[in-house]
Amino acid sequence: METQNTAPQEEKKQNKIFLYLFLLMTVACGVFGWLYWIQKNETTEVTTENIQITQESEVVKRDLQQLQSDYAELKTNDENLNKEIEEKRTLIEQLQKDAEKHKNDAWIIAKLKKETKTLRAIMQHFVVSIDSLNMLNKHLMAQNDSVSTVLTTEKEKSAILQNEKEKLFKVGSVIKVSPIEVVAMNEKGKDKADETQKAKRTDKIKIAFKLEENKIAPRGERTIFVRIIMPDGKEWCDTPDADHMFSFGNSKGFFAMKKSIQYTNEDLNVEMFIRRKENQELLPGKYIVEVCMDNTTIGNNIIALQ
């Protein structure tokens, strides 16, 4: 009788053990499934991020390749501009190497993308400068052609001679300027400033020249504009807006300073001081200074700051 009671108890105990094992396996399967789901999502996110970085890297590579081609098309006879353009070409080559070397680094790719945009903006300023120089060369060639025409048409009719005289009068009425002096100044006190060659010590730029005597030029008020192209290709100005834009020849640009003078057909000494803006950091390198008046560039010079 006692053996019969023990058998059901043992069977019941075994059933409980099987139930606990089943529940334990069910919970374990659930945990493993949850861990697998998390791992799968993380893998998907990493894969998506890697795809995005790869795509950004390819875009930067294409932009640098296009920028390299655009810089290769910049042509000028100006040695200083050519040197600056060549420096930018070398920089682009280095950026291309960095883009290939760090193509899976999101931070470096973002930095290269920003530098590519900056180089694109600098190239636009190079284009403006080259256009200005080309216009000046064309103007000089036109003057030479005009003089040649006068020499070869001395025996032509009086009407043609009169027309050429009018052209020569227009050329002769252009006010010439003495060599332009450009000096960087470091202010030592309220009324004292010394010359400097250091960009970080420069508080203002002094520009001095003389408008030469011209008896046939129209008398009256003139506005003198100073345009400065900085080492990064940008034009120095307080704010790059319409109020600081002016025309010279067939081009437009931003002036660093303008000054009104009264021209009386006599020699006139002119001094202009262009002050660095507060918190503005001047870059080391060459600064191209152009003096414009009567819609014409009448003189230029270059100052190099260390």
What pLDDT, in 10s, does the model give residues 126-145?
Answer: 778 777 777 776 777 777 66
Domain-wise residue ranges, the chain: 2-126, 175-305
Would you tell me the crossing angle of helices 2-72 and 79-101 to the nearest 10 degrees? 160
Kindly calculate the radius of gyration of the chain based on its CA atoms and give it in whole angstroms: 37
Instruction: Output the DSSP codes for 43-107.
Output: HHHHHHHHHHHHHHHHHHHHHHHHHHHHHHT---S-HHHHHHHHHHHHHHHHHHHHHHHTTT-HH
Residue with tokens 């590579």: 61
pLDDT at 37: 62
* pLDDT digit string, tens, across residues 22-39: 777 777 777 666 666 666
3-state helix, strand, coil in the chain (%, to 5): 55, 25, 25
**Which fold, 175-305?**
Immunoglobulin-like (2.60.40)
pLDDT at 46: 44
Residue 305, token pair as written in the block: 């700051």
Cβ neighbours of residue 9 under 8 Å, at least 6 residues apart? none
Distance CA 109, CA 100 (A): 10
Pick the closest to residue 108 from 96, 118, 119 (CA basis): 96
Question: Computed from CA positions of residues 302, 303, 304, 305, in that sequence, does the dihedral angle turn out positive or negative?
Answer: negative
Distance CA 150, CA 161 (A): 8
Question: Computed from CA positions of residues 236, 241, 246, 250, in that sequence, does the dihedral angle turn out positive or negative?
Answer: positive
pLDDT at 261: 93
Cα first-last separation, the chain: 112
pTM reported for the whole predicted model = 0.46
How many angstroms separate the Cα of 105 from the Cα of each of 28, 64, 76, 110? 39, 17, 38, 9
* pLDDT digit string, tens, across residues 165-213: 565 556 667 788 899 999 999 988 777 888 999 999 999 999 999 999 9
Query: Chain-wide mean pLDDT for the chain?
Result: 81
How many angstroms separate the Cα of 283 from the Cα of each of 198, 200, 233? 9, 8, 11
